[in-house]
């Protein structure tokens, strides 16, 4: 489906006005009002999309809180998708913190309070025998990409139950807004397997299945039934796993990544944008990636994903696998991750440090090796936070890092803002302005010593829309590690700091459509090189450029 030239529909009257995908509101022409029985249902003045966007941006800016703005935008999306995406794309830097992080986190926490319009598919455990039937409806015939969550680990906020549906809805909104993926191709899915959040279970307004989370064999069988139904319904669909708890996140990715074209944005998207940003920071620090020492605070699925991709990038610069892995110092709830740390997953064991490394370290007698111990002894050049612990990068730790590194690269990536390991302004103060900073949530520009400092949002939104576009348009059979690396290197190649050391680490969000297309091309080419693409050569690039959807109105004709 290319950008539509004319849309044919059998809907008329209120049915047409109540279709978010088709509703033009006051912009229906006189001829369309005749043909679709709209006279009397709309005021007589015929408007334009520009006027509608102007009306909505004034109403948006009159609201007092970010949550009010989030609810406003969700209502707008459920009223008219064209106006919604026109507003987001024209005011991207203003809108992104509202429709995505950090405000989407509070939106998920209060999702049940504001729920009023169906969007996406809720597959609850009691309906496990109906999954295939639910997905079989003709309204889903155009679907090419799905974002699915079970709501157990929403950002850094934990189990939000059915409120987690806000994440698939928000992610797919960015598929369209930031990469031009047609909204009719996108399906948010929530796997409602219950919740262990007692506040949700006690809330009379809670919209989800009021039951403790199912786990173990029952959980796996439910997910298997979902994946089986998806494969039968859409053999070439892209499935993005989102905000599953750590163990399930990595386990489900490994189980299904070769069975259905899928990726996990928390693991692979975070890894890609982190790798791209650290590659970009090397031009500012003067330290090649292969020579960096990396401390990662929070070594769950996101932390291990970052380590894996960064280590592979170091190997691309000439290190052996063992040499690359030795340059990582992962710290989790039990302190520095060591080879004899109990209950490690295989992906964590690969980066566990040997106790022999500690021979010359200055440590206390408690046996617990903290992040501060790691910074003081390992002298990392890069510090990454994916812990969800606000303020974990305290003044002592940051000043210690800055004692040993001329330009410390510090990335508090946890979302939302309330979970960030440090604030940019504190990092600048504690490093005398020398820190190179990237944050998970948007901070915009902060002022240090009277001068503006633009903080790079090291956020997956730079990666996953373009990655998805490249996968969809190349009809890739699966998402390989090489394709994830291609997305990271493509982003690194267009970072402003590559050519201007005073510039920000990452491109302006106003360029995100262009950046997403660049990433999509790189991902599609990599899929072709690996023999994973069904659409190849000039056909792929032509299809990619022709199928980018724009939020504009086109003529409607009535299907009799």
Which residues are part of the catalytic machinery? 100, 171
The SS3 assignment for 178 reads helix
* DSSP conformation letters of 357-377: GGGG----TTS---HHHHHHH
In this structure, what DSSP letter does residue 326 have?
Answer: T
- For 96-232, strand residue ranges (E) read 121-124, 145-149, 186-192
- 464: tokens are 């996953």
Whether 557 and 7 have beta carbons less than 8 Å apart is answered as yes
Task: Compute the distance between CA of residue 153 and CA of residue 164 in angstroms, rounded to an integer.
Answer: 8
Across 363-448, the runs of DSSP E, i.e. the strands, are 382-385, 409-412, 436-439, 445-448
Beta bridge partners of 446: 453
Displacement of CA 534 from its chain's centroid (Å): 26
Distance CA 269, CA 164 (A): 19
> Distance between CA 23 and CA 86 in Å, rounded?
14
Residue 115 Cα distances to 150, 200, 521, angstroms: 18, 14, 38
DSSP track, 239-296: EEE-S--HHHHHHHHHHHTTTTTEEEIIIIIHHHHHHHHHHHHHHHH---GGG--EEE
- Residues in the annotated binding site for a divalent metal cation: 242-243, 266
DSSP 465-510: HHHHHHHHHHT-SS--HHHHHHHHHHHHHT-GGGT-TTS-SS--GG
The gap from C-alpha 37 to its chain's centroid, in whole angstroms, comes to 41
Q: Cα(187)–Cα(194) distance, rounded to whole angstroms?
A: 21
Cis peptide before 416 (omega within 30 of 0): yes
Distance CA 393, CA 384 (A): 10
- Strand locations in 125-233 (E): 145-149, 186-192
Count of positions (residues) in the chain: 560
47's tokens: 């408007």
Strand partners, 59: none
Q: Is 81 helix (H, G, I), strand (E, B) or coil?
A: helix
Rounded CA-CA distance 237/201 in Å is 34
Q: Residue 503: CB partners within 8 Å, gap ≥ 6?
A: 496, 497
- Which residues, 6 or more positions from 166, have their beta carbon under 8 angstroms from its beta carbon? 104, 107, 108, 111, 154
Token pair recorded at residue 507: 């491109």
First to last CA, the chain: 22
């Amino acid at each position: 489906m290319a950008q539509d030239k004319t849309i044919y529909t059998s809907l008329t009257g209120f049915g047409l006005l109540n279709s978010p995908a088709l509703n033009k509101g006051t912009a229906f022409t006189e001829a369309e009002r005749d043909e679709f029985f709209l006279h009397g249902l709309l005021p007589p003045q015929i408007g334009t999309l520009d006027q509608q966007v102007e009306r909505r941006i004034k109403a948006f800016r009159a609201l007092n809180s970010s949550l009010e703005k989030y609810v406003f935008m969700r209502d707008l999306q459920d009223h008219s998708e064209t106006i919604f995406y026109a507003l987001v794309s024209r005011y991207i830097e203003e809108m992104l913190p509202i429709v995505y992080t950090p405000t989407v986190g509070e939106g998920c926490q209060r999702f049940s309070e504001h729920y009023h319009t169906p969007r996406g598919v809720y597959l609850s455990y009691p309906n496990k025998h109906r999954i295939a039937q639910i997905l079989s409806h003709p309204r889903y015939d155009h679907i090419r990409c799905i974002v699915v969550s079970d709501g157990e680990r929403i950002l850094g906020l934990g189990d939000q139950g059915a409120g987690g549906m806000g994440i698939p809805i928000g992610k797919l909104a960015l598929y369209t807004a930031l990469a031009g993926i047609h909204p009719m191709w996108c399906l948010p899915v929530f796997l409602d397997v219950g919740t262990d959040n007692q506040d949700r279970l006690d809330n009379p307004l809670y919209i989800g299945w009021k039951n403790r989370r199912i786990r173990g064999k029952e959980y796996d069988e439910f997910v298997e039934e979902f994946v089986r139904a998806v494969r039968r319904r859409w053999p070439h669909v892209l499935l993005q796993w989102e905000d599953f708890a750590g163990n399930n996140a990595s386990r489900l990715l490994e189980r299904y990544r070769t069975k259905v074209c899928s990726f996990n944005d928390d693991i692979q998207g975070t890894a890609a944008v982190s790798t791209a940003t650290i590659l970009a920071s090397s031009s500012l620090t003067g330290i090649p990636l292969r020579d960096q020492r990396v401390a990662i605070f929070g070594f769950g699925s996101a932390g291990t994903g970052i380590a894996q991709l960064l280590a592979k990038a170091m190997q691309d610069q000439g290190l052996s696998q063992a040499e690359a892995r030795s340059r990582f110092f992962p710290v989790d709830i039990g302190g520095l991750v060591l080879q004899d740390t109990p209950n490690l997953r295989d992906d964590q064991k690969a980066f566990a440090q040997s106790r022999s490394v500690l021979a010359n370290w200055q440590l206390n007698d408690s046996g617990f090796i903290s992040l501060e111990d790691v910074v003081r002894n390992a002298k990392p050049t890069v510090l990454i936070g994916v812990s969800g612990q606000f303020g974990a990068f305290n003044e002592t730790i940051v000043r210690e890092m800055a004692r040993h590194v001329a330009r410390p690269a510090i990335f508090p990536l946890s979302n939302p803002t309330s979970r960030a390991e440090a604030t940019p302004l504190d990092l600048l103060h504690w490093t005398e302005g020398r820190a190179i900073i990237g944050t998970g949530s948007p901070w915009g520009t902060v002022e240090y010593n009277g001068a503006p400092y633009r903080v790079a949002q090291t956020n997956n939104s730079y990666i996953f829309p373009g990655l998805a576009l490249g996968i969809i348009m190349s009809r890739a059979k699966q998402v390989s590690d090489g394709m994830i690396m291609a997305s990271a290197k493509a982003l690194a190649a267009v970072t402003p700091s590559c050519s201007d050391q005073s510039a920000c680490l990452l491109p302006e969000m106003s360029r995100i459509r262009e950046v997403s297309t660049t990433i999509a091309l790189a991902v599609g080419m990599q899929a072709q090189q690996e023999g994973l693409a069904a659409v190849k050569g000039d056909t792929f690039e032509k299809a990619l450029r022709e199928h980018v959807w724009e939020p504009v109105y086109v003529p409607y004709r009535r299907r009799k």
